[in-house]
């Protein structure tokens, strides 16, 4: 560990405001009170330990989920200061835990870089926990203080005398408040994915995660950091070059970039600032893309692969099949928005651009074989993109992408406001007929699809645009395609996938999800994509009719019926077996229907799963199915 800060005392803790508002409006601080907000509590505490690691004072972090649903996080960092804070008159520990915007992250001397922008982490977790305690090992002593719903329970206690707590660090234990959270059950997979990501981004940190509920422990350690990260992201893909990695330190900042190409048609670039995933990019991502395009074009011309009269490769050409991780660390990050999804520091563009530009130019010169493979990949992408442009121009000329010329199979609605309109994408003409008859024509449009659409994971854009069903879908949505796609022009703010509850229906739904994830992710990110939930069974006795969505629920209901005489159980094998009234009553009536909103919780995991399930290689798909077959919920 490299120690870069000389001191960390109570003087480094700055108090900005109080804490009561957190419990009243928790969503303002953690985004929501559902499962995502619950997991955010753990991230806030672990982020504090990661900050100690980035400062050079910590190399081991352990996280434990206890059987009672509580969480404990321990690190071997410096330990939170415990001396009296001049402004609050309380210990620095109590100040950090009970005052909003109190922490060492506001002082660049205590932390050179930090993932915490607002300095609210520990106090917010405290406020939203029914109980909490913190132990600090510092200066040869062990200290402890307990809290309840954001308030200290007694003063700071010294548990051990001098010399007994030889290892420094902090242990934080908390139990989420059931009065605040809808659900208090932690998801092991969700947490472990985040911790693995943290370990990749913080080179040479040992991160151990234990779940006592199922006696499961996993330890992450990656000596290669983000270089190992891109190799993992490219696992089971045909790679084109050896991984490229570069890093450079600046005054108050550092830049790391790792790159490796594969033989797919998709770009997977992930950017981070102080270990926070900036899903909306920002200045560091802009600098990365600018340098990559410039360096590849410069090398291609210098190597005479691009002739004088050849046009430059576009940014899209140079990023096809690219897997990259861009990680920057800086003293005072300026994130745009409370959720920290976009980095705003303008200076990071130049830092990333110069770092990657110098290092990648040298790397390509030193590895002509890898360089030629990359350039050939980019040239192939360029030729395919030109073919796609011609195909796109052709469909525009024929009116397929013209909003004023809607496809004949589309049964549109009379409402004009996109916010009130919804489009049902329905499997097959039979179900389409029932949906058209049973819908509310004021705001519900129906688009029946014939057969299965093209698997876009295996097809280039020019092949995709030649596929009739996809052309019809693009036209109906009305927001354009490719570089011209504009989610603000989307004709419907609820796009609902409605397929049969069988294997074929699940496959069609997956093909549609692949299309939206790869070519219209903005529709998902804006919260406009949904999945309908049609029932599997209709149980009728006399005039009493009930619908059920699983064998278990249906069997439970039937078993409770005292007299089974006259009971009729109907299994819907497809949407077409329902008449228009049944389809409206169960699946299309907004007052009673259930629809699932599609969102992207982890873009990296989603990218990997789509590649495994829908890509060219069979072995990764076979392994995925074998390892997840027991989780299948399709009731057929």
Catalytic residue ranges: 427, 500, 502, 504
Q: Do 454 and 470 touch, CB atoms closer than 8 A?
A: yes
Tokens of 592: 């009673």
CA distance 565 to 553: 20
| 3-state SS string for 185-225 | CCCHHHHHHHHHHHHHHCCCCEEEEEECCCCEEEEECCCCC
| 3-state SS string for 463-510 | HHHCCHHHHHHHHHHCCCCHHHCCHHHCCCCEEEEECCCCHHHHHHHH
Q: What is the DSSP letter of 484?
A: G
Q: What is the DSSP letter of 237?
A: S
Q: Please list, in sequence order, all residues whose beta carbon lies within 8 angstroms of the beta carbon of residue 253, skipping any fewer than 6 positions away.
A: 113, 328, 329, 330, 331, 347, 348, 351
Instruction: Specify the 3-state DSSP secondary structure of 102.
Output: strand
Strand order in the sheet with 253-261: 244-250, 253-261, 322-330, 268-273, 276-277
Tokens of 441: 């024509």
Q: Do 530 and 494 touch, CB atoms closer than 8 A?
A: yes
Closest by CA to 261, choosing from 247, 284, 243, 245, is 243
Instruction: Specify the 3-state DSSP secondary structure of 587.
Output: helix
Q: What is the DSSP letter of 58?
A: -
* CA-based R_g, the chain, Å: 28
Q: Do 75 and 170 touch, CB atoms closer than 8 A?
A: yes
Closest by CA to 68, choosing from 26, 130, 128, is 130
Q: What is the rounded (10 degree) CA torsion for 446, 452, 458, 459?
A: -60
């Amino acid at each position: 560990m490299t120690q870069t800060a000389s001191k960390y005392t109570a003087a480094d803790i700055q108090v900005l405001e109080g804490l009561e508002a957190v419990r009243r409006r928790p969503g303002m601080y953690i985004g929501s009170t559902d499962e995502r907000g619950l997991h955010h509590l753990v991230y806030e505490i672990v982020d504090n330990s990661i900050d100690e690691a980035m400062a050079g004072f910590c190399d081991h972090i352990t996280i434990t989920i206890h059987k009672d649903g509580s969480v404990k996080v321990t690190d071997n960092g410096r330990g939170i200061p415990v001396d009296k804070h001049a402004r609050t008159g309380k210990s620095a520990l109590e100040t950090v835990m009970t005052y909003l915007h109190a922490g060492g992250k506001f002082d660049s001397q205590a932390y050179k870089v930090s993932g915490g922008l607002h300095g609210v982490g520990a106090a917010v977790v405290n406020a939203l926990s029914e109980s909490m305690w913190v132990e600090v090992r510092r200066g040869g002593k062990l200290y402890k203080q307990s809290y309840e719903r954001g308030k200290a329970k007694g003063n700071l206690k010294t548990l051990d005398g001098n010399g007994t707590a030889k290892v420094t660090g902090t242990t934080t234990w908390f139990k989420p408040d059931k009065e605040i959270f809808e659900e208090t059950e932690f998801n092991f997979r969700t947490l472990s994915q985040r911790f693995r990501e943290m370990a990749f981004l913080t080179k040479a940190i040992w991160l151990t995660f234990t779940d006592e509920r199922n006696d499961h422990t996993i330890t992450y350690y990656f000596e290669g950091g983000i270089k190992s990260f891109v190799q993992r992201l490219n696992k089971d893909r045909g790679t084109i070059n050896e991984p490229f990695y570069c890093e450079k330190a600046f005054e108050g900042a550092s830049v790391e970039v790792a790159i490796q190409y594969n033989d797919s048609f998709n770009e997977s670039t992930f950017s981070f600032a102080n270990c926070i995933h900036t899903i909306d990019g920002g200045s560091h991502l802009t600098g990365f893309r600018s340098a990559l395009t410039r360096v590849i074009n410069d090398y291609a011309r210098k190597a005479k692969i691009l002739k004088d009269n050849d046009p430059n490769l576009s940014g899209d050409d140079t990023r096809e099949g690219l897997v990259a991780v861009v990680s920057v660390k800086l003293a005072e990050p300026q994130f745009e928005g409370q959720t920290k999804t976009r980095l705003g520091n303008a200076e990071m563009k130049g830092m990333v651009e110069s770092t990657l530009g110098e290092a990648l130019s040298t790397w390509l010169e030193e590895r002509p074989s890898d360089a030629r493979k990359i350039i050939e990949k980019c040239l192939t992408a360029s030729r395919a993109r030109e073919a796609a442009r011609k195909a796109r121009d052709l469909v525009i000329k024929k009116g397929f992408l013209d909003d004023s010329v809607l496809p004949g199979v589309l049964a549109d609605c009379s409402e004009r406001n996109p916010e009130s309109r919804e489009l049902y994408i329905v499997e097959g003409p039979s179900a389409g007929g029932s949906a058209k008859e049973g819908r509310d024509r004021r705001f519900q449009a129906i688009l029946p699809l014939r057969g299965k659409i093209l698997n876009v994971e295996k097809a280039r854009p020019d092949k995709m645009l030649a596929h009739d069903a996809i052309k019809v879908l693009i036209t109906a949505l009305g927001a354009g395609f490719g570089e011209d796609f504009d989610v603000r022009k989307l004709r419907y703010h609820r796009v609902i996938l409605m397929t049969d509850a069988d294997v074929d229906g699940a496959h069609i739904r997956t093909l549609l999800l692949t299309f939206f994830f790869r070519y219209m992710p903005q529709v998902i990110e804006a919260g406009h994509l949904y999945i309908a939930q049609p029932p599997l069974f209709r149980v009728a006795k006399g005039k009493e009719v009930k619908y059920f969505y699983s064998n278990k629920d249906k069997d439970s209901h039937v078993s409770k019926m005292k007299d089974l005489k006259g009971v009729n159980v109907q299994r819907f094998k497809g949407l077409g077996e329902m008449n228009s009234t049944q389809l409206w009553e169960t699946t299309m009536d907004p007052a009673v229907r259930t629809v699932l909103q599609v969102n992207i919780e982890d873009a990296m995991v989603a990218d990997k799963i789509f590649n495994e399930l829908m890509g060219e290689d069979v072995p990764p798909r076979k392994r995925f199915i074998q390892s997840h077959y027991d989780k299948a919920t399709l009731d057929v």
